[in-house]
Amino acid sequence: MQTQVCHVVEKLQHLSPKRLAEADDFIDFIQLRDQSDSLRRDFALASEAAFAKIWDNDDDAIYDKL
């Protein structure tokens, strides 16, 4: 991992200030997307128990096979 970080740092050192700002924005975007994905997963897991009470019934059992 450290080698990869050093490689990226070397590339960043050759960028113009404008491109460096774009790279910084892109890194922020990636981190935000990862946080959003993690939050979405956490909310889905947290809601499973509540939805299970509604969805686990004989009337809807046919959908379990889909």
What's the pLDDT score for residue 27? 95
Let me know the angle formed at the C-alpha of 29 by 27 and 35, rounded to the nearest 5 degrees.
105
Q: What is the pLDDT of residues 42-52, one digit of tens each?
A: 888 888 888 87
**Residue 23 CB contacts under 8 Å (≥ 6 apart), including other chains:** 12, 15
Whether the CB-CB separation of 17 and 9 falls below 8 Å is answered with no
* Residue 17, token pair as written in the block: 């200030």
66 pLDDT band (50/70/90 cuts)?
A: confident
pTM equals 0.56
Domain boundaries in the chain? 2-65
Per residue in 6-48, pLDDT tens?
A: 999 999 999 999 999 999 999 999 999 989 888 888 888 888 8
